[in-house]
Structure 1
Amino acid sequence: MSKHARIAWAGAVHHAIEQDGRLELQTPAFKGRLLSFDEVVWLPPLVDTPPHRPRTVLALAINYADHAKELAFKPPEEPLAFAKGAGSLIGHDGFTVRPAGVQNMHYECELVVVIGREARHVKQQDAYDFVRGYTVANDYAIRDYLENWYRPNLRVKNRDTGTPIGPWLVDAADIADPMKLALRTTVNGQLTQQGTTADMVFDVPMLIEYFSSFMTLYPGDLILTGTPDGVVDCPVGSVVVTEVEGIGALRNTIVGN
């Protein structure tokens, strides 16, 4: 399995791959050098140069039937989606700010689809041909700022440091079926959320068909596919780990401002 990372080390940004529990640098000047995970600063595992820099970050609301039930809503008949800025993304082992006075800020463990090539009017049966790979996101939400459940405003989701992503980008070819992956979240080591991508209301092929029917998806664009039930408020100091089977475990710490 190929697990790709983007990290900062020795004053520069590097592409690395996982090799026997360590990071193997792929940068020509350091190719083959091995580093431990705690020697580096983890960045979102996305290429930051055209044409693979994400132009669009799309996120799904209420895309798991059990989460809809948790919120006392019926599952939507059409994807409930919103856009996020790439500036909200941070890497593995990063710090997310919880604003002072907030009463309900919770994690959302999500499978992320990374688009591999330009997609327009894609049919579901062809959708996986347009996927470069998968990663993990923790799409924090601040419920205090929510205008209503169906229209999250910018302050709820599109916040600096509000969307940890990573640690790995796993090649699509290494994931046999992205619709049969377990998801789990722990807060300070305690299991608080678990589910499976099989419970998505709208699966990955349908989402690609839906979005590409009215907008062009470009290499590097992201689709955050929603979260199952089990979200809980997380105070300052919480260490949150969101994990998707076969993709990786994304660790994040909540800090005050």
Structure 2
Amino acid sequence: MKLLRYGPIGAERPAILDADGKLRDLSDVVTDIDGSAFSPEGLAKIAAADLSSLPLVDGKPRIGSAIARPGKFLCVGLNYADHARETGKDIPEEPVLFSKAPTSLCGPNDDVEIPRGSDRTDWEVELGIVIGSRAKYVDEASALDHVAGYALVNDVSERRFQSERGGQWIKGKSHDTFGPVGPWMVTKDEFDDIQNIDLWLDVDGERRQTGNTKTMIFDVAFIVHYISQFMTLEAGDIIATGTPPGVGLGMKPPTFLRAGQVVTLGASGLGEQCQLMVQA
């Protein structure tokens, strides 16, 4: 299933993409695309719905974040060896964890703001894990049982705020609009192998990133298992799993985003995003 949210900012409604690629309103089935919808019971309720009886959504409405504001928006850093090398970092022996503020969440095609005082706003195409049930001290073998599905994420980053302003990475990761998610959350049953997903990103039509999740240092199952040793994951939480090489920081010379540029990105089975960069 492909679950999504549509409508004005702050007034999004739940929806599902039917077999013909048409948008169907899910408001009579679930209240939102959130933790309760991602639970095994919630997904079973949606799966049992008669899609042909659900209202069609007219026109081309704004698509919101595929996930209502999560309790946790977590990220894994330096999870592709070639990306770690391009940024001058050592390949990590354990997953590097950080978070994005939930207020950074936005729709997949919303404008993305370049923060005031920023001169190093960067792009990162990533696979996002969506948690479906509580995970605490789970083993690696059962970790995927706690996953509801996956979504495309652009982990937008301000590199100076991230690395040169003291403290932790969260300052460079959490500006409003720095977390486009979607266009939809795809349930895990639609993937034969989540460790073989192509990822790509363009800036103004020029390819900057090309990668595949098979080259991740730490795979999806290990990430869920690992994080659950430090904190409880709950339904609706999202984990961005790291980016392949090709970020602006790794270019020679480093190249960053400017207002007026357009970033497009996508992943096999997860859809595409398109964002206009604007000045905050």
TM-score normalised to structure 1 length: 0.90
Identical-residue share of aligned pairs (%)? 35
Q: 1:194 aligned to 210, 225, 246, which one?
A: 210
CA distance in 1, matches of 2:128, 2:166: 21
Task: Determine which structure has the larger strand proportion and give its number.
Answer: 1
1:140 paired with 2:156, answer yes
Q: Residue 229 of structure 1 aligns with which residue?
A: 245
Q: Report the secondary structure of 2:90's partner residue.
A: coil
1:83 paired with 2:99, answer yes
TM-aligned CA deviation for residue 41 of structure 1 = 1.9
Q: 1:35 aligned to 58, 61, 69, which one?
A: 58
Query: How many residues get paired?
Result: 248
Q: 1:216 aligned to 232, 244, 248, which one?
A: 232
List gaps (5 residues or longer) in structure 2: 30-52, 249-255
CA distance in 2, matches of 1:35, 1:70: 45
TM-aligned CA deviation for residue 103 of structure 1 = 2.3
Map 1:136-175 to 2 at 5 A. Answer: 136-147=152-163, 152-175=168-191
CA distance in 2, matches of 1:102, 1:87: 18
Deviations 1:134-161 (A, max 9, x none): 0011011111223369974333001111
* Cα distance change on mapping 1:133 and 1:242 into 2, 3 Å: same
Deviations 1:189-236 (A, max 9, x none): 221110011111111111111111121110001111000110122211
* Cα distance change on mapping 1:202 and 1:21 into 2, 3 Å: same
Amino acid in structure 2 at the alignment position of 1:237: G
TM-aligned CA deviation for residue 35 of structure 1 = 2.8
Q: 2:262 aligned to 236, 239, 249, which one?
A: 239
* Cα distance change on mapping 1:78 and 1:151 into 2, 3 Å: farther
CA distance in 2, matches of 1:215, 1:155: 21
Larger displacement relative to structure 2 (100-109 or 246-255): 100-109
List gaps (5 residues or longer) in structure 1: none
Amino acid in structure 2 at the alignment position of 1:31: L
CA distance in 2, matches of 1:83, 1:234: 22
